[in-house]
A and B are shown apart, each in its own frame.
Chain A
Amino acid sequence: MPKKYHIHPKLMPLNLNSLFKFKIERGENCINCGKCTKVCIYEAHKRGKDDPRKMADPNTMVCRNCFRCIQECPRGALEKSLDKDFLNIGGSYWKSDIFITLWKQAEDGKVPVTGAGYRGPFTGDGFDSMWTDMSEIVRPTRDGIHGREYISTSVELGRKLNHLTFGDKGQLLSQIHPTVDVPIPIIFDIPLDNLSPNVKMAQVKAAAELNTFIVLPVKEITPKIGKYINNIIVLLTPEEIDKHQGLIKNARIVALEYTGKLEKQLPALKDKIKKAGNALTIIRVPVTKSVEGIVSRLAQGGAEIIHIVADYHGREIPESAGESYRIIKDIIRAVHLKLVDDRIRDEVTIIASGGIAMAEHVPKAMLCGADLTAIDLPLLIALGARIYEEPEKIIVLPDGLEKITVKTVKQRMINLMSAWHSQLLEVMGAMGIREARRLRGETGRAIFFEEIDNETFGKLFKKRETKNV
Chain B
Amino acid sequence: MKPSTVKIKKMPSRFKHQVPKYKVVRSSACISCGTCAEACPHGVHERTEGHNKVKPPIDYKCIGFECQNNDFYCVAKCPRKALSLTVNPMYETLGDYRWTADMITATWIMAETGYPPERKDLEYNTGNSGGGFDKLRLKFPAGRPKIDKFEISTEIPLNRRNDGRAEIVISTPVYGGGMSFGSVSLPTMVSKARNATIWNTFTCTGEGGYPEVLEPYDNHVITQVATGLFGVREETIQRVKIVEFKYAQGAKPGLGGHLLGEKNTASVARMREAVKGTSLFSPFPFHSVYSIEDHKKHIDWIKEINPHALVSVKVSTPNDVDMVAVGSYYAGAHIIHIDGGYGGTGAAPDIAKKNIAMPIEYAITKVHNFLKDEGARDAITLIASGGIRSAHDLVKAICLGADGAVIGTAEMVSLECVRCGNCESGRGCARGIASTDSELADLFNEEWATQRLTNMYHAWNIQLVEILQKFGMKSVRELVGRTDLLEHIDYSE
A interface list, Cβ under 8 A from B:
22, 29, 39-42, 64-68, 70-76, 79-82, 101, 111-123, 131-139, 141-142, 144, 146, 148, 358-360, 364, 423, 426-427, 429-432, 447, 452-453, 455-458, 460-462, 464-465
Q: Please give me the residue from chain A that is nearest to B59 by CB atom.
A: A76
B420 touches A64 (CB 8 A): yes
**B82 CB-CB contact with A under 8 Å:** no
Q: 1/0 per residue B74-103: CB within 8 Å of A?
A: 000000000000000110111011110000
Chain B residues with Cβ below 8 Å from A131 are 341, 355-359
Q: Please give me the residue from chain A that is nearest to B342 by CB atom.
A: A118
Q: Please give me the residue from chain B that is nearest to A423 by CB atom.
A: B351
Chain A residues with Cβ below 8 Å from B344 are 116-118
B318 touches A119 (CB 8 A): no
A41-B430, A114-B422, A115-B346 known; A430-B356 Cβ under 8 A: yes
Chain B residues with Cβ below 8 Å from A67 are 19, 94, 418, 420, 431
**B276 CB-CB contact with A under 8 Å:** no
A426 touches B255 (CB 8 A): yes
Among A40, A75, A111, A133, the most chain B Cβ lie within 10 Å of the Cβ of A133
Among A70, A457, A464, the most chain B Cβ lie within 10 Å of the Cβ of A457
CB distance from B380 to the nearest CB of A (A): 16
A118 vs B357: C-alpha distance when bound (angstroms): 13
Q: Please give me the residue from chain A that is nearest to B315 by CB atom.
A: A136
CB distance from A196 to the nearest CB of B (A): 31
A120-B354, A461-B491 known; A71-B427 Cβ under 8 A: no
Chain A residues with Cβ below 8 Å from B356 are 131-134, 427, 430
- Of B132, B355, B431, B492, the residue contacting A66 (CB under 8 A) is B431
Q: 1/0 per residue B13-55: CB within 8 Å of A?
A: 1011111000000000000000000000000000000000000
B285 touches A113 (CB 8 A): no
A82 vs B361: C-alpha distance when bound (angstroms): 31
**B289 CB-CB contact with A under 8 Å:** yes
B interface list, Cβ under 8 A from A:
13, 15-19, 56, 58-59, 89-90, 92-94, 96-99, 128-132, 134-135, 247-248, 251, 253-256, 281, 283-287, 289-292, 294-295, 315-316, 318-321, 324, 327, 341-359, 361-362, 365-366, 386-387, 409, 412, 417-427, 429-431, 434, 440, 483-484, 486-488, 490-492
B129 touches A121 (CB 8 A): yes
Chain A residues with Cβ below 8 Å from B281 are 146
Q: Please give me the residue from chain A that is nearest to B135 by CB atom.
A: A122
Interface of B is mostly: loop
Chain A residues with Cβ below 8 Å from B251 are 117-118
A29 vs B26: C-alpha distance when bound (angstroms): 13
B348 touches A122 (CB 8 A): no
CB distance from A112 to the nearest CB of B (A): 5
B351 touches A123 (CB 8 A): no
B18 touches A71 (CB 8 A): yes
B491 touches A136 (CB 8 A): no
- Of A136, A360, A465, the residue contacting B351 (CB under 8 A) is A360
What are 16 A-to-B residue pairs whose CB atoms are below 8 Å? A42-B430, A115-B424, A117-B409, A119-B421, A122-B130, A122-B135, A131-B356, A135-B320, A136-B315, A136-B320, A137-B294, A141-B285, A141-B287, A148-B283, A455-B362, A456-B365
Chain B residues with Cβ below 8 Å from A148 are 283
B491 touches A465 (CB 8 A): yes
Chain B residues with Cβ below 8 Å from A80 are 89-90, 93
Chain A residues with Cβ below 8 Å from B94 are 67
CB distance from B262 to the nearest CB of A (A): 13
A82 vs B292: C-alpha distance when bound (angstroms): 50
- Of A74, A118, A142, the residue contacting B284 (CB under 8 A) is A142
A117-B342, A119-B419, A360-B354 known; A137-B16 Cβ under 8 A: no
Instruction: State the 5 A-B residue pairs at the shortest beta-carbon distance, nearest first.
Output: A122-B131, A430-B254, A115-B423, A119-B96, A114-B421
B134 touches A113 (CB 8 A): no
B324 touches A360 (CB 8 A): no
A116 touches B420 (CB 8 A): yes
A426-B352, A427-B351 known; A117-B287 Cβ under 8 A: no
B347 touches A456 (CB 8 A): no
A64-B430, A66-B422, A68-B430 known; A111-B349 Cβ under 8 A: yes
Q: Please give me the residue from chain B that is nearest to A445 by CB atom.
A: B319
CB distance from A431 to the nearest CB of B (A): 7
CB distance from A347 to the nearest CB of B (A): 30
A76 touches B17 (CB 8 A): yes
A41-B426, A122-B129, A460-B483 known; A74-B16 Cβ under 8 A: yes
B292 touches A116 (CB 8 A): no
Chain A residues with Cβ below 8 Å from B361 are 456-457
CB distance from B295 to the nearest CB of A (A): 6
A462 vs B487: C-alpha distance when bound (angstroms): 10
